[in-house]
Amino acid sequence: MAIGVLALQGSFNEHITALNKLGVKGVEIRKPEQLEHVRALIIPGGESTTMAKLAEYHNLFPALRSFVKSGKPVWGTCAGLIFLADRAVGQKQGGQELVGGLDCLVHRNFFGSQIQSFETELSVPTLADKEGGPPNFRGIFIRAPAILEAGPSVEVLADYPVPSKQVMETASESKTEQEQNNSGEKVIVAVKQGNLLATAFHPELTADTRWHSFFMNMVDGPVDEGSADQTIAYIAKQLPVFQ
DSSP state of 159: E
Q: Is residue 37 among the annotated active site residues?
A: no
204 labelled catalytic: yes
CA nearest neighbour of 4 among 62, 64, 53 = 64
56-86: b (≥16 Cβ within 10 Å) or e: eebebbebbeebbeeebbbbbbbbbbbbbbe
- The residue annotated as part of the active site, out of 14, 28, 37, 78, is 78
Active site residue 58: no
Q: Which helix (H) or strand (E) holds 152?
A: none
How many degrees, rounded to 5, is the angle at CA 219 between CA 83 and CA 123? 65
| Whole-number Å distance between alpha carbons of 49 and 79 | 9
Residue tagged active-site, from 15, 37, 107, 202: 202
Measure the CA–CA gap between 7 and 30, rounded to whole angstroms: 6
Report the relative pairing of strands 186-193 and 196-199 from DSSP bridges.
antiparallel
Which sequence positions are flagged as catalytic? 78, 202, 204
